[in-house]
Amino acid sequence: MQKTDWTKEEIYALYEKPLLELVYEAATVHREFHPKNEVQISTLLSIKTGGCPEDCGYCPQAARYHTDIEKNDLMTLHQVKAAALRAKESGSSRLCMGAAWRNVRDNEEFEQVLDMVSTVNEIGLEVCCTLGMLTENQAKRLANAGLYAYNHNIDTSEEYYKEVISTRGYEDRLKTIDNVRKTGVTVCSGGIIGMGESWKDRCDMLHTLSILNPQPESVPINALVPVEGTPLEEQQVVSSWEMIRMVAVTRIVLPKSVVRLSAGRTSMNQETQAFCYMAGASSIFAGDKLLTTPNPDIKDDLSMFKELGIEPKQAYKKQKENHEVEGKEGKIKWSRPGHKIERNVRAQEKAKKEKV
């Protein structure tokens, strides 16, 4: 039976188990709730890149840091359709569209995104979006357009969040997840390890996700890819063992969720990834880039799947919903804590100097 009242102490105890025992337990849970040789391939498409007003310390898309990413305005419907067809042809069953926005605004660009959602759904891919903070009305409009999932990561523990981001609060993340839950759109929420957090922060993040009722259907686990120019550029890459341990604990406390091996796969060899599938990872992102960071070649992924006897999961066709959408919601106030994070300020000052 699925346990939904995890305590932090129980999760700490899991995290501290001998690794092989932990993986065995996770693999047992995985076989109870998921097909044993199936992994979903998702494609992540950046539909609007860079120029983001937020200060997420890990993100090269934040306008305030100096990184060499290529910025792009919102893609056209034609570009998105072409990318979706390519993704489907190469074996993906889900397309996740990401825009570097703080929050969704009720403007022409949102109308265009709604058209994109509808088009990708018609193509027969599960459609996911990650567009920043979202109101209930906006969530309903996305559901009506055929959105299957909304991604909104909580990133890390509530306590450590303040060390990484100062332009929004943890409660905003949870509020957006709650707004998505008011529709039939599924929730995708996870985090990043390797940002300088303690192992207890990792467990605390899983605790927050595990006590959501219902738990998120999808949980991405990212390993930080340190990017030059961001405040976390000097962070050490997490070890394979830490990644495997994190996947295994996630699988046990969120037994029904799809656990997604996300950013950081380029620094893992195929043996490490195989260990992660054993420990309960059931999805990967395909494509040569994950928004802006490198990702393994799909041909290598497919040959690894063949070697391991893994089958890519088929897409689920989403029916459009029919929510009544209110004309006006009034102005939503998302928080803006604005506290000082030394390394974020330093990265910003460095970027300013380089510009002069």
What angle do the packed helices 136-145 and 108-123 form, to 10 degrees? 40
- In the window 103-142, what residues touch ligand SF4 (CB under 6 A)? 132
Residue 59 interacts with ligand SF4 (CB under 6 A)?
Answer: yes
User: Which residues participate in catalysis according to the annotation?
Assistant: 52, 56, 59, 96, 128, 188, 260
Which span (51-59, 89-97, 221-229, 292-300) binds ligand SF4, by CB under 6 A? 51-59
Provide, rounded to whole angstroms, the least separation between the CB of residue 263 and ligand SF4.
11
Q: Could you tell me if 198 and 238 are in contact, meaning their C-beta atoms sit under 8 angstroms apart? A: no
Q: Could you tell me if 41 and 297 are in contact, meaning their C-beta atoms sit under 8 angstroms apart? A: no
Give CA torsion, residues 281, 124, 147, 266, to 10 deg: 30
| Residue 286, helix vs strand vs coil | strand
Provide, rounded to whole angstroms, the least separation between the CB of residue 61 and ligand SF4.
4
Provide, rounded to whole angstroms, the least separation between the CB of residue 355 and ligand SF4.
18
Residue (of 169, 270, 253) closest to 211 by Cα position: 253
Helix or strand run (H / E) with residue 274: helix 270-278
Q: Which residues pair with 193 in a beta bridge?
A: 223
Provide, rounded to whole angstroms, the least separation between the CB of residue 16 and ligand SF4.
30
Selected from 34, 47, 48, 54, the binder of ligand SF4 by CB under 6 A is 54
Interatomic CA distance for residues 300 and 296, integer angstroms = 7
Comparing CB distances to ligand SF4, the nearer of 31 and 105 is 105
Selected from 52, 83, 129, 310, the binder of ligand SF4 by CB under 6 A is 52
Which span (59-67, 217-225, 229-237, 241-249) binds ligand SF4, by CB under 6 A? 59-67
Residue 61 interacts with ligand SF4 (CB under 6 A)?
Answer: yes
Per-residue buried b or exposed e for 165-174, using 16+ beta carbons within 10 Å of the residue's own CB? bbbbbbebbb
Provide, rounded to whole angstroms, the least separation between the CB of residue 81 and ligand SF4.
23
Which span (19-27, 54-62, 226-234, 322-330) binds ligand SF4, by CB under 6 A? 54-62
Interatomic CA distance for residues 134 and 46, integer angstroms = 18
Which residues contact ligand SF4 (rule: CB under 6 A)? Answer: 52, 54, 56, 59, 61-62, 100, 132
